[in-house]
Amino acid sequence: MRISVQEAAFDAGAELTAFSTGLTSQGAVVTFTGIVRNSPEGDLQAMEIEHYPGMTEASLREMAQKAMARFALGDVLVIHRYGRLAPDEVIMMVATAAPHRKAAFEAADFLMDYLKSRAPFWKREITDGGATWVASKDADEDALKRW
Amino acid sequence: MRISVQEAAFDAGAELTAFSTGLTSQGAVVTFTGIVRNSPEGDLQAMEIEHYPGMTEASLREMAQKAMARFALGDVLVIHRYGRLAPDEVIMMVATAAPHRKAAFEAADFLMDYLKSRAPFWKREITDGGATWVASKDADEDALKRW
Amino acid sequence: MDVLYFAWVRERIGLPRERIETTAATVRELVAELVAREERYAVAFSDLAALRVAVDQELRDFDAPLAGVREVAFFPPMTGG
Amino acid sequence: MDVLYFAWVRERIGLPRERIETTAATVRELVAELVAREERYAVAFSDLAALRVAVDQELRDFDAPLAGVREVAFFPPMTGG
């Protein structure tokens, strides 16, 4: 299990290669990569991500441990950046390994649902018009009821 | 969109890097990688994958096109190997890119469901006890009814 | 017409493909012709529910017509992924 | 006790953290104390339903007790991922 909260950019492909190396008896690996999307107007200058040092890594670790146990995973990876990101930069990534497909998919979905509503990150979009905090969606909170 | 039916091994991480390069306005990338699992007895010598040249690539292309349209994907990748594979070797991979998470996850799940029951591949396990064709599961066929 | 066999169908029939001259109107009639020929076909086609068929490389059912068809393939349910 | 603010809560209050001496028994009482202090707190805490709270870095509700607590943080709903 690897958890990383970092400012530096990372290569999701290189992370997948590293994650896959040394897995045994795992038939399925799922990754999710989150990327900074431009605004509908195409004027996004940057996405700024604030977090709560101390709490962030602990909460991600707790989510990852829950996912490991609940879905009987072989391994799990969570990387999440903070700081100032440009459009099309990678924000975060999760990877899950399990003996079978269903568990690997569900665990990645579970991690994303928890990460969206329970990990202490806040996004702010900087456009030509100014800075706007991204609002949480009721749907994100509702998504947790699935689990 | 890239479809590859190949005997050669490939690096899923390098494929993810290539797939991600040049995406624009896509907020989410999901990958699934299928790996040869050992037998419960740990005596798997190889997994042999037979396919139907001519039909295989066309059917994968059709599935990928359906997924592109249905989930409004930015891009899709399908790689599937044939021939003789050792335990822990990568068998296949799909990658999907979409503006949002839900579509990317669903499209990957959709592709896997179709690929399992509609792409002309047949797996045979070679163990100390001999060679056994992998049986299809009713659940795999049932899974298509979701879509 | 080219007739192809895959996986255990190929093993039971003992060859991957063969050229067959037939006036069968449907896949089902073609199967009946083959089954009447030799025991190995009868064994391979003993349970059609366990088989799938592709006509000119498209999945079809056993009632698919054969007029103008160049290639028919028989195989067990697929197990890719 | 250290009190931390994040995102627009931090912006409204105008600082990321401060040291507060309090005898408040719960988070809700601490909020009432802060709101009574200055307008900027009243603005930041005007709608508690739009806020989340962590007590010693664990998510809690506003009725969480503060006895023995070292750190309380206030912030809007998270938007990671």
**Do strands D71-75 and D52-55 pair parallel, antiparallel, or not at all (unpaired)?**
antiparallel
Distance CA B89, CA B66 (A): 28
Q: Which of D6, D57, D78 sits opposite A136 (nearest CB)?
A: D78
Q: For B121-141, write each residue's pLDDT tens digit.
A: 999 999 999 999 999 988 888
Write the DSSP symbol of residue A2.
E
Q: A-B interface: how many C-beta pairs under 8 angstroms?
A: 103
CB contacts, 8 Å: A60 with chain D: none
- CA distance to partner chain C, nearest, from residue B73 (Å): 21
Look up the ipTM and state it: 0.94
Identify the CATH class of A2-145: alpha beta
Any idea where the domains of chain A sit in the sequence? 2-145
Q: In what order do the strands lie in the sheet with A121-127?
A: A83-85, A44-51, A121-127, A130-133
3-state secondary structure of C21: coil
3-state secondary structure of A39: coil
Domains, chain C:
2-75 (3.10.20.30)
- The pLDDT of residue A124 is 97
Q: Which of B26, B30, B109 sits opposite A32 (nearest CB)?
A: B30
Residue stretches of chain A with pLDDT short of 70? none
- What are phi and psi for residue B46, nearest 5 degrees? -160, 160
Are chains B and A in touch, 3+ Cβ pairs below 8 Å?
yes
The 3-state DSSP composition of chain D as helix, strand, coil percent (nearest 5) reads: 35, 25, 40
pLDDT band at D53 (very low <50, low <70, confident <90, very high): very high
The DSSP string of B72-114 is T-SEEEEEEE-EEE-TT-EEEEEEEEESSHHHHHHHHHHHHHH
CB contact under 8 A, B101 and A108: no
CB contact under 8 A, B17 and A15: no
Q: pLDDT averaged over consecutive 10-residue blocks of chain B (147 residues)?
A: 98 97 93 93 94 97 98 98 97 97 97 95 95 90 88
Q: For B100-120, write each residue's pLDDT tens digit.
A: 999 999 999 999 999 999 999
- The pLDDT of residue A39 is 83
